[in-house]
Structure 1
């Protein structure tokens, strides 16, 4: 394993100084992420561009930032702060739970009690919005009620995970593109992060209907077969899971009034197993999620189109080509819900 795999870039002193200039304080979480205090997310005035850029760049390098709030945010304040990042506007594609305040279509309300929110979401590693061409640049998690007995989110740095791969695996994955099982949208399995410039891996373990390899010799394309795709998904899960022991992933537990913003191209996430335990056992958990429009499409640069007809016949002959639902079931024993 490459020793560079454990490197998540430390906070940049210049950006730390800018944040402090505007009354904030940022400290690193270990091994990734950062915690911010002193920045008012409830402000109705867009913060200075210099401050936003510093925070957004730290998010790109560290993966996510946690704002510690002295009082609970209103829904509108949370959604307004979500628009500080990426494409600067909400991009909401989810269903609306009946308990969502005001029926706000931009709030994806999650809970371990179906009376209070949608249960069971995101048990496998994924990035949000893999079914749209531009994905989401960022996602926000507003903690309405943390469970008394834990149940947070695991985050993993996908640049560090890329570097942890053996050289030959990195070279193979650089030739791969995934096809979303719900929409046929095509995304690279390895990409260069638009802010950090770091090569990063990216694959949705609960919504992939096919993976295409571009030949290293003749430039042609082929589908991975079932054995190859199963191996890929298991290797992807294994390298992300390994981050919890090797210093590039964290099992993050929320505290009351936390507001977390995630760079959706820098880190993958999954719900911790405890997050889906029943409220009677774990305590009631309620979380509001927002999703932010990207500034550009997140498509392949290898000659493949941005979208293919996943519900039609395979355009590349033999191999896995599976539309609908959770796509290819790489492990029949694990829960897969988006």
Structure 2
């Protein structure tokens, strides 16, 4: 797949001034994301609404925020900060590891050592909460202990990835809708971001059980066959991977006590391969994740329903229709746990 260089515009100076008036500073990361300093997430007092609005807009346009925290944050600080965005409240669907502080059900504790957290999560490009009609609006990551030898997260800007697609691919992908393999929820492969207005691609490579194509120029739909769905997943994986060299994705390495918040409709993410390497090789890694209630349904177009019975009979008779945890395996031998 060919692609081209894409780039985000500089941070709006009016927005930067709003943050500076509050005593903070925002700096664009290269090539995507924003670093925030001077805002104390350990404070019980929330930043003013105009500051939150600016930061949420920057997340929508640049993908994610990194807070460099001078004070050590506890679990409640992190969860309180998570509720600044999107639906303004936590929506948690994960398991709780025994080492989770206070057994808090809103903390998803991840690690490369199963004694300290849940291992092997998120190896393929995905967005959180794809099994929900209103997917999580944002996700948060608090870095308790970064691995000494690296192992961060890859982030890819899905609006810039859409722009990097050839026009014929943009048109076809705009007629595709994915079916979540665990819940049967239907999402568009291309959506318009509610804040930025950008067209963004969106597909969970670890939980897709079917893809429906609106027939061009006529009524009706068809299911992609196995070879077509395999090709689609590879193309999606390739276009996001290409961002690492073409200016719309990055491999972010964490520092201790970093808080990262992502706009879950604007960026895809995956754990870096090093993040799952054994402690003996990488050192111990511990991260806390939060997920924030969605604001609106990520609804498909063309009159499609929000939900279908992926565990029932194939409605079309032909094509991939596969329920279950990881759904369609688009490449044998790769880790698919999400």
TM-score range, shorter chain: over 0.9
CA separation in 1, counterparts of 2:284 and 2:3? 41
Q: Which residue of 2 aligns with 1:214?
A: 214
User: By how many angstroms is 1:2 displaced?
Assistant: 5.9
CA separation in 2, counterparts of 1:2 and 1:194? 26
Aligned residue for 1:77, secondary structure, equals: helix
Q: Which residue of 1 aligns with 2:300?
A: 300
Deviations 1:186-221 (A, max 9, x none): 000000001110000000000000000111211211
Q: After superposition, where does 1:79-228 map in structure 2 within 5 Å?
A: 79-228=79-228
Deviations 1:208-259 (A, max 9, x none): 0000011121121110010110000000000000000111100000001100
Superposition TM-score, scaled by structure 1 size: 0.98
8 Å contact 1:130–1:204 — kept in the other structure?
A: yes
User: By how many angstroms is 1:267 displaced?
Assistant: 0.4
8 Å contact 1:8–1:157 — kept in the other structure?
A: no
**Number of residues paired by the alignment?**
337
Is 1:58–2:58 an aligned residue pair? Answer: yes
Aligned residue for 2:245, secondary structure, equals: helix
Aligned residue for 2:56, secondary structure, equals: helix
User: By how many angstroms is 1:317 displaced?
Assistant: 2.4
User: Cα RMSD between the aligned structures?
Assistant: 0.9
User: By how many angstroms is 1:42 displaced?
Assistant: 1.5
Is 1:331–2:331 an aligned residue pair? Answer: yes
Deviations 1:7-44 (A, max 9, x none): 22321111111111111100011000010001111122
CA separation in 2, counterparts of 1:287 and 1:219? 47
CA separation in 1, counterparts of 2:205 and 2:94? 19
Aligned residue for 2:168, secondary structure, equals: helix
8 Å contact 1:31–1:250 — kept in the other structure?
A: yes
8 Å contact 1:143–1:286 — kept in the other structure?
A: yes
8 Å contact 1:10–1:62 — kept in the other structure?
A: no
Q: Which residue of 2 aligns with 1:248?
A: 248
Superposition TM-score, scaled by structure 2 size: 0.98
Aligned residue for 1:293, secondary structure, equals: coil
Deviations 1:60-89 (A, max 9, x none): 111001000012211011000000000000
Aligned residue for 1:156, secondary structure, equals: strand
